[in-house]
Amino acid sequence: MQKVQDIRDNLDKRLKRIEGQVKGIRRMIDEGKNCQEVLTQVSAARSALKMVGNMVLNHYAAECLCNTVSAKDKKTKVDELQKLIQTITRFAD
Going along the chain from its start, the domains and CATH numbers come out as: 4-91 (1.20.58.1000)
Residue 46: per-residue pLDDT: 92
The DSSP code sequence of 28-54 is HHHTT--HHHHHHHHHHHHHHHHHHHH
**CB neighbours (10 Å) of residue 65?**
13
> Per residue in 41-78, pLDDT tens?
999 999 999 889 888 887 877 776 666 666 566 677 76
CA distances from 72 to 38, 60, 63, 80 (A): 53, 20, 17, 13
85 has pLDDT over 90? no
